[in-house]
Amino acid sequence: MRLGGEALFRQVTGSTNDDALMLARLGAPEGTVVVADYQTSGRGRRGRRWIAPPGSAALISLILRPNIPPDMLPLITLASSSAVARAISRMCDLKPRLKWPNDVTINGRKAAGVLLESFEGGRLAILGIGVNVNLREEELPPHPKGGATSLNLEVGREVDRFELIELILAELEARYKALKRWEFDAILSEYRLLCSTLGREVEVEEGGVRFRGMAIDLGEKGELIVALPDGRLRRVFDGEVSVYEI
């Protein structure tokens, strides 16, 4: 299995994740990648819209057929975020950081995001990755908590989207193979090194409940462990987390 071994390019599409899911259900092999120049209905975590002008972002979705327990699927998100960060670092000589669970930031501003959608009880997963590559300041999507950026703005030059995509796929393939070998600790260890959320006071909204605490570690399933003011530990699996700024 090689990620990107089969690739489909679309000039315009609604959503690369939707395209990849359709292909998967038609029998496309694991590792098939869909790349688009422009999405009309791109989406991120919690259904947020992902907007970028044509030709300005790296927009890719992959078909994955993980052989890991369903409750370990969130580690794909962490591994993918690390892969994107490493690819950006290699290509642009930047130092991206990771905001739990799926944002890649540069100098505190969001530059990329990952969306994992699972089907068939976890036997099928569609991984979407979006990177703001050559967006100008006025083209950046609204992102109220911390703001957004692009690689172009950070390095002051045009960045080759397709070269970046190749690097992302190479970095991701190594980590995905580790996941399929159940080398979960290696994925968690790398993410911890890159994660800017750990060691910070955070505000969390999960299940209609809002609370604050200190993000101290990741659990074995990739959940965020938050120490509450009363000393109790709370595990956050799918909450909305923001760093609390005084």
How far apart CA 96 and CA 85 sit, in angstroms, is 5
Strands 224-227 and 209-218, sheet pairing: antiparallel
In the sheet with 97-99, reading across from the earlier edge strand, the strands are 7-13, 33-39, 57-64, 124-132, 109-119, 103-106, 97-99
How far apart CA 125 and CA 20 sit, in angstroms, is 10
pLDDT bracket for residue 207 (50, 70, 90)? confident
101 cis-preceded (ω within 30 degrees of 0): yes
Q: What is the pLDDT of residues 133-163, one digit of tens each?
A: 999 988 887 665 568 999 999 999 999 999 9
> Quick one: pLDDT at residue 95?
97
How far apart CA 166 and CA 83 sit, in angstroms, is 11
> Quick one: pLDDT at residue 219?
98
The mean pLDDT value for 40-69 works out to 82
> Quick one: pLDDT at residue 82?
99
Name the pTM for this structure. Answer: 0.93
Mean pLDDT of the chain: 93
> Which residues are within 8 A (CB) of 88 and not within 5 positions of it... i.e. 6 or more apart?
94, 96, 104, 106, 111, 112, 131, 151, 164
Report the percentage of the chain scoring pLDDT > 70. 93
What does each C-alpha distance from 11 to 17, 39, 170 come to in angstroms? 15, 9, 23
> In the structure encoding, which two tokens stand for residue 229, read together?
């003011």
pLDDT of 201 > 80? The answer is yes
The mean pLDDT value for 84-93 works out to 98
The mean pLDDT value for 184-189 works out to 98
Pick the more confident residue, 47 or 104.
Answer: 104
> Quick one: pLDDT at residue 133?
97
Instruction: Pinpoint the alpha helices (H) of 58-107.
Output: 74-92
| Angle, CA 34 vertex, CA 32 and CA 40 arms, to 5° | 155
Q: What is the pLDDT of residues 159-177, one digit of tens each?
A: 999 999 999 999 999 999 9
> Quick one: pLDDT at residue 145?
59
> Sign of the C-alpha dihedral, residues 192, 196, 202, 204?
negative
> In the structure encoding, which two tokens stand for residue 238, read together?
């799918």
Domains of the chain plus CATH, in order, are 7-194 (3.30.930.10), 201-243 (2.30.30.100)
> Quick one: pLDDT at residue 3?
86
User: For the stretch 193-207, what's the b/e string if a residue is b when 16 or more beta carbons lie within 10 angstroms of its beta carbon?
Assistant: ebbbbbebebbbebe
pLDDT of 245 > 90? The answer is no
Tokens 């990755």 belong to residue:
129
